[in-house]
Chains A and B, each alone.
Chain A
Amino acid sequence: MSGTDGVFEEANGRGTTVVDAPPRSLADLAPGTAVVVIAVVDDGEPAVVRRLHDLGFTPGAVVEVVRRAPLREPVLYRVRDYEVCLRRAQAECVHVTEAER
């Protein structure tokens, strides 16, 4: 699981604190990690952002990575009391930060 921009070589839930790093996305996380959504970014498809919002991925929402499918994709997330799976392309649109626990 390599990060999209080379900063996060191995994000395993403990995660190194990188200051001023590019925002990490849901796609960079290992199962068991809990994070908070900062923003959902447009990858040229505004409909994707709307849908992710409507699915509950809004800024401030707590997301937990539940598990990966046996073939690594899609990944199951828990958000707003229910479980939904996304492929990597969609997960990359959701920028997140470590949950304060």
Chain B
Amino acid sequence: MNAGCHDAGGADATLTEAPRIALVGAPNSGKTSVFNGLTGLRAKTGNYPGVTVSRFVGTARTGRHRHMVEDLPGTYSLEPISPDEQITVDVLDGRLEGADRPDALLVVVDATTLRRSLGFVAQVLARGLPTCVVVTFTDELARRQGRLGVDALAQALGVPVLPVVGHRGVGIAQLREQLTTWRTWQAPAVPPPTQPGERDAWADSVLAFAGYRPPERHRMTQHVDAVLLHPVWGTAVFFTVMVLFFQTVFTLAAPLQGWVESLGGWLSGQVDAHVGNPWLSGLLGDALIGGVGGVLVFVPQIVLLFLLLALLEGVGYMARAAFLMDRVMARFGLEGRAFVALLSSFACAIPGIMATRTLPSARDRLATMMAAPLMACSARLPVYVLLIGLLVDPSAGVGPFGAQGLVMFGLYLLGAVSAMPAAWVFKRLGDRHGQAMPFFMELPPYRLPAPRAVLVAMWSSARAFLRKCTTVIVATSVVLWLLLNLPLHTDAQLRAAGVDASDSVAVSAYSVDHSYAAGLGRLVAPVFDPLGFDWRINVGVLSAQGARETFVATLGQVAAAEDPDQPAQALASMTYSDGPRAGEVVFTAPTIAALLVYFVYALQCMATVAVLRRETGTWRWPTIAFTYLTVLAWLMAYLARTATVLLGG
């Protein structure tokens, strides 16, 4: 999950004059840790030209020297089988147009898996670029009674070797210093053999010369795996982890959310008190604070969600989950890594879709991408929280678990369970004579994740979310505010309609109900009537088409406009203003259930559509995804409403 959500800026063009150093290495080798150490938080994310593999470029500064450091996708081999690995090889060979060949290479190898990694080092050295080898996890090697003579290794390889403990920052300063001397790095005069047999002999002799003693087995990993990969306990732990995950997101973030809410309340008080112009105060108070502020409240939960995902990934549990789930995924024609991509989609479908690049099979990739939007992303979280709050009493509970958290878990489960058959269908549709690609997956030892990497993941998620709030959601909120407040009604019109012009609550209720937005909501009413949505929900659903969170902003605005003093109460007591249900409460259990289920399925995210377009190269797949998910959303919402009515809700 190192792809930033919604990040799609270009690589830094001003750095093209600085020497280009590329980082290559296997996944789990600590490469990203080294990259973060060298470049700090200034890394830029973008895409490789013409392809859609995200590119991480940053600057390492040493005194007045500047180096452009590029983190290439992790690979076990320079014989590529996945799109990611293809990029790494193309960049190394200077075959990727628009991405210059690096001037020098840093090969990152994990000291504890050196016997395997040297084969990769041999392949890299054979490329003939100036190379420096970075050995990571040397602390772990020592802890596990292994040994490695770094200087002797440098001598045997014929290139500089530096030990680095990336997550502690040990050796980073020396590495930065080393970068300034990249011109003196030599590719070895005689490149090591790359044929497997000779390569093994070469690796053995290098390791013998370096006095390498492989580490003992990681005891803790063995013990923990005996439980976590156990047929019964492993499965039980898996589900417990998932439930706790959502409980934590709910309970831990609640107080933080309260603070953000009271900040918003204070701000709108200030607006009321100090802004005289009713239009300006309405725009600030309703559209910005009521609308966008309502979404900003979810920053703590979203950051926490990304934090937990980064932790699960960082300690190595994600790979275990993929191991446990591989057979299940195989049933749907996919593999364990597709499960990880889908799990990442819990944060956001975009990194999830990007994570499918690790899948070697194009068909698997497509099937996973088409299913990824079904995984409950963080944008759904605000919507779920708002609606569950209206549906379930916060004090209700089942055993130790809060009922709200359980409903939330159920919604996440529904999305996940639906994603599987969806993937299966798409796999079957195109896979009539597909070649099965090899499946392999490393299970790294359990490790404490680098705090820095976790912080980077949190920060980039928060930043992407804030960016979305300040662009798409602000724009939609302002447009909606105008639609909700126009046309203007004269006193004469109000009198004619029987509204007391001096009663501000009655006036605003009348204005909202006769606004352009109401007209729009009523226009689509025939579509949504069977689901029990009134025009206000329709407007919310329409406004959420670009980004799901906007739904919360819209309802916040509608509520604030209807009853400026108690917007929280306004939603719960909102009634249908016309039609056969006029006067009845809108947010009844069947309506909320339908609405929740609609959000489980619908593809209401323009960023996801755009990424699908980028990743598949045509409009065909995003169109198919949008259509099938919207139709499915309506059908499932109708089912949910009917079922809830039957259950007496």
Extra A-B contacts (16), CB below 8 Å, given A74-B323, A76-B323: A47-B81, A48-B438, A54-B77, A54-B123, A55-B116, A58-B199, A70-B229, A70-B231, A70-B324, A71-B328, A74-B439, A80-B115, A80-B116, A81-B113, A81-B114, A90-B439
Contact of A56 among B115, B323, B438 (CB under 8 A): B115
The answer to the question of B443 belonging to the interface, with a C-beta cut-off of 8 Å to chain A, is: yes
A48 to B336, CA, bound (A): 18
Q: Mark A57-91, 1 if CB is under 8 A from B, else 0.
A: 01111000001011111101001111111110110
Contact flag A59-B197 (CB < 8 Å), given A70-B234, A85-B440:
yes
Q: Mark B110-153, 1 if CB is under 8 A from A, else 0.
A: 00111110011001000000000000000000000000000000
The interface size of chain A toward B, counting residues with CB under 8 Å, comes to 33
Contact flag A53-B438 (CB < 8 Å), given A69-B229, A85-B323, A85-B443:
no
CB distance from B121 to the nearest CB of A (A): 12
The answer to the question of A52 belonging to the interface, with a C-beta cut-off of 8 Å to chain B, is: yes
The answer to the question of A45 belonging to the interface, with a C-beta cut-off of 8 Å to chain B, is: yes
Residues of chain A with a CB closer than 8 A to B435's CB? 45
Contact B324 A69 (CB under 8 A): yes
Contact flag A81-B197 (CB < 8 Å), given A47-B438, A70-B324, A86-B440:
no
A61 to B119, CA, bound (A): 13
A83 to B112, CA, bound (A): 11
7 A-B residue pairings within 8 Å (CB atoms): A45-B438, A52-B440, A73-B330, A74-B327, A79-B116, A84-B442, A87-B330
Q: Tell me the total A-B contact number using a CB cutoff of 8 A.
A: 109
Residues of chain B with a CB closer than 8 A to A90's CB? 438-440
CB distance from B648 to the nearest CB of A (A): 39
The answer to the question of B83 belonging to the interface, with a C-beta cut-off of 8 Å to chain A, is: no
Contact A50 B440 (CB under 8 A): no
The answer to the question of B263 belonging to the interface, with a C-beta cut-off of 8 Å to chain A, is: no
The answer to the question of A101 belonging to the interface, with a C-beta cut-off of 8 Å to chain B, is: no
The answer to the question of B90 belonging to the interface, with a C-beta cut-off of 8 Å to chain A, is: no
The answer to the question of A14 belonging to the interface, with a C-beta cut-off of 8 Å to chain B, is: no
The answer to the question of B183 belonging to the interface, with a C-beta cut-off of 8 Å to chain A, is: no
For window 285-344 of chain B, which residues contact chain A by CB distance below 8 Å? 323-324, 326-328, 330, 335-336
Residues of chain A with a CB closer than 8 A to B81's CB? 47, 51
Contact of B442 among A51, A69, A70, A82 (CB under 8 A): A82
A80 to B120, CA, bound (A): 13
Contact B76 A60 (CB under 8 A): no
- 8 closest A-B pairs (Cβ-Cβ)? A71-B327, A70-B231, A54-B77, A80-B116, A80-B115, A56-B116, A82-B113, A53-B196
A16 to B402, CA, bound (A): 56
Contact of B79 among A54, A56, A79 (CB under 8 A): A54
Most chain B CB atoms below 10 A, which of A59, A71, A79, A81: A81
CB distance from A45 to the nearest CB of B (A): 7
A84 to B440, CA, bound (A): 7
Contact B113 A80 (CB under 8 A): yes
Residues of chain B with a CB closer than 8 A to A74's CB? 323, 326-327, 336, 439, 441
Q: Nearest chain-B residue to A76 (Cβ)?
A: B443
Residues of chain B with a CB closer than 8 A to A89's CB? 436, 438-439
CB distance from B86 to the nearest CB of A (A): 12
The answer to the question of B103 belonging to the interface, with a C-beta cut-off of 8 Å to chain A, is: no
Residues of chain A with a CB closer than 8 A to B230's CB? 70
The answer to the question of B171 belonging to the interface, with a C-beta cut-off of 8 Å to chain A, is: no
Q: Mark B216-230, 1 if CB is under 8 A from A, else 0.
A: 000000000100011
Most chain A CB atoms below 10 A, which of B123, B215, B440: B440
Residues of chain A with a CB closer than 8 A to B225's CB? 67
Contact A86 B79 (CB under 8 A): no
Residues of chain A with a CB closer than 8 A to B123's CB? 54
Contact B441 A84 (CB under 8 A): yes
A99 to B215, CA, bound (A): 21
Residues of chain A with a CB closer than 8 A to B200's CB? 58, 60-61
